[in-house]
């Protein structure tokens, strides 16, 4: 049975957190895309904003309950909302627009299954403004 090289064994070990490593990384993205997201977060948001927005979008999409869901966009408690606002899908879209084409394509590939599930679980709002984003044109909790 072949053995792993020592360098591979060391690479597989969990690494210690270093100074400045406080941001969360979205899995499935290249190092270049992660670096671009970190640059955007430093400029307009907070460290880890994209990861937190993706996590909350995933929680919204995979919320337990019946097949049809009616999302709530803003939290009841204003102190629990992030500093940049409560709309996590809007945050992800703004980050996508700030990235290069290749990095945005990678992030959209991570978002695509979540967006498809969201569209499948929500209903179209016939009275929504056509100027709203596509996720805002769905029926939400009254």
Q: Are 81 and 74 in contact (CB under 8 A)?
A: yes
What is the average per-residue pLDDT within 77-82? 56
Q: What is the pLDDT of residue 15?
A: 57
- Integer-rounded Cα Rg, in Å, for the chain is 18
Lowest mean pLDDT among 41-45, 54-58, 85-89, 111-115: 85-89
* Max Cα distance, the chain (Å): 65
* DSSP string for 71-126: ---S-S-TTTS-TT-S-HHHHHHHHHHHS-HHHHHHHHHHHHHHHHHHHHHS-B-T
Q: What is the pLDDT of residue 142?
A: 59
pLDDT of 84 strictly over 70? no
Q: What is the pLDDT of residue 81?
A: 54
Residues in the chain, how many? 142
What is the average per-residue pLDDT within 46-69? 84
High-pLDDT (> 70) share of the chain, %:
76
Query: E strand or H helix at 61, and its extent?
Result: helix 49-61
Q: What is the pLDDT of residue 74?
A: 58
Per-residue pLDDT tens over the stretch 108-120:
999 999 999 988 8
Query: Mean pLDDT across the chain, nearest whole number?
Result: 79
Per-residue pLDDT tens over the stretch 59-73:
888 888 777 776 665
């Amino acid at each position: 049975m072949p053995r792993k090289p020592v360098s591979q064994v060391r690479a597989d070990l969990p690494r210690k957190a270093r100074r400045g490593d406080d941001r969360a990384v979205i899995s499935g993205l290249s190092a270049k895309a992660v670096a671009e997201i970190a640059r955007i977060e430093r400029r307009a948001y907070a460290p880890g904003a994209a990861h937190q927005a993706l996590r909350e979008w995933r929680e919204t999409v995979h919320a337990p309950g019946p097949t049809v869901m009616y999302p709530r966009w803003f939290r009841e408690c204003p102190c629990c909302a992030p500093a940049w606002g409560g709309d996590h899908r809007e945050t992800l879209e703004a980050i996508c627009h700030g990235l290069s084409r290749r990095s945005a394509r990678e992030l959209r590939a991570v978002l695509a299954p979540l967006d498809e599930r969201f569209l499948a679980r929500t209903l179209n709002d016939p009275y929504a403004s056509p100027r709203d984003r596509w996720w805002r044109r769905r029926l939400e909790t009254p």
